[in-house]
Amino acid sequence: MLDSRYQISINTRSYSLVLLVTAVFLVLIHIGLYQYNYQIEELEWLLLQLFDLDEENNLPTWFSSFLLLNNAFFLALIARSEQVADKMQWSLMAAGFLLLAIDEVAGLHETFNSSIEMNWAIPGGILVSVIGVVFIPFLLRLRRALAGLFILSGFIFVSGALIIELLSEDLDSDSLFYMMAVAVEEGLEMFGAWLFLRTLMKEMGSEKNVDVSISIDS
């Protein structure tokens, strides 16, 4: 019978660097392809769709979902730690990132947006504001540097997800300018999620490694 306990050691510097380079790479591919498509020669739809940051079920979408899922996983680990306080808040953040990861692939907010007249970013902004106010006491109990990085990464993510979304609402979706706005929007979302994850991993372990123990019960 196989061992039911596993130990995983993650080099946080290398892991976070790979994720950051991948995010930058995907954004640059999107920009390069659409500049070529609009300014030089029209490209095949299949190639554009594979790397289009505004499309679903492609490489950038799955990477973004994976990045968010990483946050949910590490938040859940922190919530289960015996030493950590505010377990409910850590658990709620884990659930929130899990929902964001699912939405990234399933396109839940696009479905919601198609069923209402206003842009989904408006009720989304209201919801984010309410959640932010509710979490103020929790943030005040954290170390100042940790709370500051959480707020900064959240602001970067929300700037892409909501603010750029609103600003680009009236742009022609079949234009280079719109595709550059998409690159900014998705790039901010990816970087915000990456910065949050990097902060979590540094908080969990040393500057180099995070050790994760997994036990499987039959």
On whether residue 212 sits in a domain, the answer given is no
Instruction: Say how far apart CA 199 and CA 193 lie, in whole Å.
Output: 10
Residue 53 tokens, joined:
């940051």
What are 39-75's pLDDT values in tens digits?
A: 999 888 888 999 999 888 899 999 999 999 999 999 9
Cα–Cα nearest to 10, from 60, 77, 63: 77
pLDDT higher at 187 or 127: 187
pLDDT band at 2 (very low <50, low <70, confident <90, very high): very low
If one compares 8 and 49, the residue with the highest pLDDT of the two is 49
Residue 215: pLDDT over 90: no
213 in any annotated domain: no
pLDDT of 194 above 90: yes
Mean pLDDT (the chain) is: 84
Question: 211 in a domain, yes or no?
Answer: no
Q: What pLDDT sits at residue 4? A: 56
Is 142 domain-assigned? yes
pLDDT tens per residue across span 202-214: 887 654 566 666 5
Residue 210 belongs to a domain: no
- Res. 1: pLDDT tops 50: no
Structural domain tally of the chain? 1
pLDDT in tens, 72-88: 999 998 888 767 788 89
Which pLDDT does position 115 carry in this prediction? 58
Q: Does any domain span residue 214?
A: no
Q: Summarize the confidence of residues 2-29 as an average pLDDT.
A: 84
Which range is most confident: 149-153, 159-163, 172-176, 178-182?
149-153
In this prediction, residue 218 carries a pLDDT of 46
The residue among 191 and 119 whose pLDDT is bigger is 191
The pLDDT of residue 141? 93
Residue 55, in any domain of the structure: yes
Measured CA to CA, the distance from residue 38 to residue 130 in angstroms comes to: 41
CA 34 – CA 117 distance, rounded (Å):
30
Q: Is residue 217 situated within a structural domain?
A: no
C-alpha 34/C-alpha 210 separation (Å) is 39
At 53, phi and psi to the nearest 5? -70, -15
19: containing domain? 7-205
Q: Is residue 24 classed exposed, middle or buried when 0-12, 13-18 and 19+ CB atoms within 10 A define those classes?
A: middle
The reported pLDDT for the residue numbered 106 is 79
pLDDT at 83: 76
